[in-house]
Amino acid sequence: MAEPRHWFDPSQPQTLQGAVMLCYITAALGVLSLLFGSAFALSSLALGIAGYGVANERRWGYVLGVVLSALIFLLYLYWLVQGVIGLVLNLLFIGVLLALFLHPQSRHYQRIWFK
């Protein structure tokens, strides 16, 4: 019998729980930005998929979340250096997400339990 799927796993460490919630929030904001034709809507939606993978203890979800949040963080940082001041809050938000994914507690848990 197949394992039940869930959107949130309260048995995971707080760092991964926070990362999953931030992925879902980013995906929800991505849906809103789709209405306005934003180029980052797809990456935001992909973070929602990564959050679902992490909630179901899938290694691909963790890797996707780390890669996407790192790429978005570097892009926002580049734009901030170029003088786009309005991205400071976005940079902080995605920086927290990246920190939650890369926290030693998250890395240790996914190394042991994720499939």
Domain range enclosing 48: 14-113
Take residue 107 and report the two structure tokens written for it: 């890395």
Residue 9 domain flag = no
Residue 46 domain flag = yes
Residue 1 domain flag = no
Mean pLDDT of 96-115: 93
Take residue 98 and report the two structure tokens written for it: 């990246």
> How many domains are there within the chain?
1
Please state the length of the chain: 115
Residue 51 domain flag = yes
Residue 19 domain flag = yes
Residue 25 domain flag = yes
* Distance, CA of 34 to CA of 85 (rounded, Å): 22
Residue 29 domain flag = yes
| pLDDT, tens digit (0-9, with 9 covering 90-100), for 44-95 | 889 999 999 999 999 999 999 999 999 999 988 998 888 877 778 888 999 9
* Distance, CA of 102 to CA of 85 (rounded, Å): 26
* Confidence (pLDDT) at 104: 95
Contact 7, 54 (CB under 8 A): no
